[in-house]
Structure 1
Amino acid sequence: MIANALAERGHEVTMLSFWDHGKPFFPVNEHVTVDYLMRSGLDGKLYRTYIYPILKLRSYVKKHRFDVLIDIDSVLAYWSVPALRGLPCKHIVWDHFNYRHIQTEPRRVKAYELTRDHADKLVLLTQQDCDMYVQAGFPPSKLHVINNPTPFEGVRRSPREGHIVLSVGRLTDQKGYDRLIAVWSRISDQVGDWKLVIVGSGELESSLKRQVMDANIDNILFVPATKDVEHWYDRASIYAMTSRFEGFPMVLLEAMAKGLPIIAYDCLTGPREMVHDGETGYLVPDGDANQFAQKLLKMLSNRSLQDQYSQAALHAVNRFYLRSIADQWESLIKDILE
């Protein structure tokens, strides 16, 4: 979305992937160049050496004379910082998780150090994350917060006629669907004809389905990942999220753009900057399954409350529209080039 928006504003934009995994999943503007740094075979063997991808990237940047390189994952600084050393190209590192996530592996820690010492800017998705970086001693002058834009802009709101609580995401430990099932098990015999629908695929699918069977729950439906996810937003009336951690959960923006009331755990990071507790839905202390269950039961049993939160969500999502976010990116790029 950001690449497309910048290209439409006249910037020359290249999306460069380390590996050739085929065409991008999402639509790319015809003015955006898509290219690949390495391919399988010899590249794959040489990639195992630290210096090879660095030299490949450095050569590519020099050849195309880029003004700015933006890493779309902070771990890429592990290669991009040494690749850009001594070149006139400016460097923005864009993190999509949060400070605690970068502590999960040595390569990310090293990338963090390289970013801190050499990159021009580190773009973060939330102020909450920015505060953690400052507390860790990262230079505040190098930090910049830009939210992600909603991919649903100007869409038809959900009629909210179906008695469905929806959750969308990969079936992985991060997304916490075991926690959502545990919450639902507390109230499943009190929800009447309401159903919980989980849309997504992943390595935990079999264990999550086994959890449902062991709990003897018959009102949870699993739906494989689909490109037509908007269909399920239109069928739902409430959106639930129980992730263990996030960067900036796009599903909340999508749900809000469709006018769905939200109930979410206040995990790191993102939910508290998107969901206004008691206004657009409920923000529940992370891991408090009992409170989550009671708040969810209260919401699904009160249509007027749903209507109130729905209207507020539609209003709150306006600040995440693409034009505003693209303005912030364009301003940042202009500032570092001056």
Structure 2
Amino acid sequence: MKSICLVKDDLSIFGGREKILSVMANALCEDYCVHVVGLWNSLRTPPYFPFDERVHCFQILDHNARVREALTKTISPLHRYLKEQKIDVALSVGVNTNAYLLAAAAGTKVKTICCEHSNLQNSYYGWFGHLNQWLSARFADKIVTLTKQDQAAYRKKFHLGEERVDYNYNCIDPAWLKGKKPYDATSKKLLSVGRFDPVKGYPLLVDVAKRVLTDHPDWQWHIYGDGEEFSTVQEKIRAQGLEKQLLLKGAVKSMEEIYPQYAAVVLTSYHEGLPMVLLEAKANGLPIVSFDCATGPREIVRDGVDGYLVPVGDVEGMSKRLAQLMESISLRRAFSEKCEESLYLFQREKVMEKWSIIIDSVCAQ
């Protein structure tokens, strides 16, 4: 049985990358000996999302670390771990882990796969993120993006052959598809989920909410998540007088029982990879209204069929589309009925089958 290792900077936080890493690890342990390594631990807590008991977890630092400390204190322990555990293939989950993994794997027989969990155009990465993208193009055995759009972007920018860059979608946790509850078209609540980072566009969300909630006083909009912009968004909500309709619900570990309570999911991000919130929305039959950002929404949402795509930053356009959904129960029901048609693309069996092909092909190089 081949040994693989998934490497992530921080396993303690709540986010889409952390969630999909746990889903991947738990699924891949059916066919591989799976290891998961966290480089540092900003919250000083166990991993936020649970792992199968067959997954071997290893934490290098027990505290948060800046880039300089992380580079000096994690690469050598990771190098030893990869060698001692006889890892065949190691995957960096998110580009900011690329430098650590590629340096740690140097001088070993470990094959490396760098997994892009946002996109090549993400302006919020900064210099270190873009350096990591270059490093993956220069040194990794393979790059795996989340979308066809980003796969093409990597090949074009770095002049890479087809064998160096592949794509694979995130999968929907099978738990979301078991015991699925019927869509409640009578709900009058909107849902947004994600960390309070600048890339998520939550200040713009408040601007949209001001327009649609003022005209629909019987509706509410709930946001689940936490992060650096939480207090900033909270203050803007107060300034707009929306405290009774736009509610911040904090981070919740299990959202399975949350989604069925809502009428639609809204995404206001400037950039994404393949947003888990939209996959979870589709799994629950929820219509979606999303900015058509790079990348992901366009490969999940069929505009005018099971949701709406709006140009990034178009507050008026998003407000108009949301109002259409909020004012038509028949439209919400029609969109919900169409959600299931493309779910097969994101089912665990299909996604994990492709991961096995990718991992085995890298081993054979």
The match for 2:316 is 290
| Structure 1 residue 64 corresponds to structure 2 residue 88 | no
Q: Of residues 51, 60, 76 in structure 1, which corresponds to 2:97?
A: 76
Among 320, 325, 328, the alignment partner of 1:302 is: 328
Moved more, 121-130 or 47-56: 47-56
1:54 to 66, 75, 83: 75
Structure 2: which amino acid aligns with 1:224?
Answer: G
* Rg comparison, structure with higher value: 1
Give yes or no for the alignment of 1:240 onto 2:266: yes
2:115 to 84, 87, 94: 94
Q: Percent identity?
A: 29
Residue 119 (structure 1) aligns with: 140
Contact in 2 for aligned 1:240/1:264 (Cα 8 Å): yes
**1:173 is matched with which residue?**
198
Structure 2 CA distance for aligned equivalents of residues 330 and 62 of structure 1: 22
For 1:228 and 1:32, locate their aligned partners in 2 and report how far apart those are by CA, in whole Å: 20
Residues 137, 158 of structure 2: 8 Å contact kept? no
**Aligned counterpart, 1:2:** 24
Partner SS state of residue 282, structure 1:
strand
Where does the alignment leave 5 or more consecutive residues of structure 1 unmatched?
Answer: none
CA–CA distance in structure 1, aligned partners of residues 96 and 245 of structure 2: 41
Question: For each residue in 1:120-163, what CA deviation from the matched residue of structure 2 results, as whole angstroms up to 9, or x when unmatched?
Answer: 10111111212222231241331110010112223413434321
- Going from structure 1 to structure 2, the CA distance change for 1:164 and 1:98 (only over 3 Å counts) comes to same
Matched length: 335
What is the Cα deviation at residue 174 of structure 1? 1.7
Q: TM-score, normalised by structure 2?
A: 0.85
- Counterpart of 2:258 in 1: which secondary structure? helix
The AA in structure 2 aligned to 1:3 is A
Structure 2 unaligned segments of length 5 or more: list them. 1-22
Alignment of 1:129-148 (within 5 A): 129-141=150-162, 142-148=164-170
Assess if the C-alpha contact under 8 Å between 2:88 and 2:110 holds in 1: yes
Is 1:202 paired with 2:202?
no
RMSD: 2.3
Matched, 1:32 2:55: yes
Tell whether 2:125 aligns with 1:104.
yes
Q: Report if the CA contact (8 A) 1:257-1:313 is conserved.
A: yes
- Residues 219, 103 of structure 1: CA spacing in aligned structure 2 closer, same or farther, 3 A cutoff? closer
Q: 1:103 to 1:122 in 2, by over 3 A?
A: farther
Residues 179 and 289 in structure 1, CA contact (< 8 A), matched pair in contact too: yes
Which residue of 279, 282, 286 maps to 2:305? 279
CA deviation map 1:156-213 (0-9, x unaligned): 1343432111111222322112111111212323225122122222332333233223
Name 1:187's counterpart in structure 2.
212
Task: Tell me the secondary structure at the aligned position of residue 230 of structure 1.
Answer: coil
Describe how 1:205-216 pairs up with structure 2 within 5 A. Answer: 205-216=230-241
**Cα distance, 1:241 vs. partner?**
1.0
Given the superposition, is the C-alpha separation of residues 214 and 110 from structure 1 closer, same or farther in structure 2, using an over 3 Å criterion? closer
